[in-house]
Amino acid sequence: MKSDEFGPVVVSANDLLTGNVIFLTEKPDWTTNIHEAYVINDKAESCRWLLEGEVQQSLFSDNLFSHVVDPYLVELKIDKEVISFCAFKEALRYYGPSNYFHGKRDWEIV
């Protein structure tokens, strides 16, 4: 990532209970839908949000525990509101495996 042309990125992680791929929303909360994710276009802001994700990962107390594992930043391409992933790996992670039609979302990309 070059610092002058940053983003767009989202914070992603896995859900502790299901392993599901999840994204941080503006609230902040977590969603499995990329369209609900909070899209960040600024480096400093991305660090703040990543920190938010990590804080959520390590919240400890009996009733306020966190179900987030290993948050990191995922780079996107957004073209007229159509969201796609810069890396093929991230697309596959989002849409599910390509060998069966039974990912957590149906396989839609090539």
Partner 1 sequence: MRENNCANSTTKNKTRRESCLIITDSGFETEDYRVDFIDVTTDIVPQALSKLRDSRAVRINFANFKDGRGFTLARLFRLEGFKGVLRAKGDLLPDQYSMLRRSGFDELEIADMVVERHSKAAWLAGINWHSHHYQKRLGSSLIREP
Partner 2 sequence: MESEIGKLYSYSGFDSEFIKERTRQFREQVNRRIKGFLTEEEFTPLRLLNGLYLQTHSYMLRVAIPYGVLNSEQLTQLAFIADQWDKGYGHFTTRQNIQFNWPNLVDIPEILDSLAGVGMHAVQTSGNTIRNITSDPFAGAAVDEIENPLPYAELLRQWSTDHQEFQFLPRKFKIAITGSLNDRAATRFHDIGLRIMLKNGQLGFEVSVGGGLGRTPVIGTVIREFLPKEDFLPYVESVISVWNLLGRRDNKYKARIKITLRELGSKEFQALVEKRFDEIRNTFNGADSKTLEDIKLQFSSVQLIEMPLGNYQNRHKENQGFRNWVKNNVTEHKITGYTIVTVSLKTHGNTPGDATSEQMRMVANLAKQYSYDELRISKEQNIVLPHVHRSALFDLYSMLLKAGLASANVGLISDIVACPGLDYCKLATARSIPLAKELGVRFRDLDLEQKIGILKIKISGCINACGHHHLGHIGILGLERAGKESYQVVLGGEESTETSNIGKNLGPGFSKTEIVPVIEKLVNIYLALRLDDAETFLETYKRVGITPFSKEIYQEFPRRKKNA
- In the complex, the residues that contact partner 2 under the rule CB under 8 A are 14, 16-21, 57-62, 65-67, 69-70, 86-89, 92-93, 96-100, 102-104
Instruction: State the residue for tokens 């009996």.
Output: 62
Question: What are the φ/ψ torsions at residue 24 (nearest 5 degrees)?
Answer: -80, 135
Residue 17: CB minimum distance to partner 1, A: 19
Distance between CA atoms of 5 and 102, rounded to whole angstroms? 36
Stretches 34-42, 50-58, 87-95, 101-109: which one binds partner 1 (CB under 8 A)?
Answer: 50-58
Nearer to partner 2, 44 or 101 (CB): 101
Parallel, antiparallel or unpaired: strands 68-79 and 9-15: antiparallel
Nearer to partner 2, 3 or 61 (CB): 61
Nearer to partner 1, 49 or 95 (CB): 49
Q: Going by C-beta distance under 8 Å and a sequence separation of 6 or more, which residues neighbour residue 33? A: 23
**Could you say which of 2, 4, 27, 60 contacts partner 1 (CB under 8 A)?**
60
Interacting residues with partner 1 (CB under 8 A): 1, 46-47, 50-51, 54-55, 57-58, 60, 70, 72-73
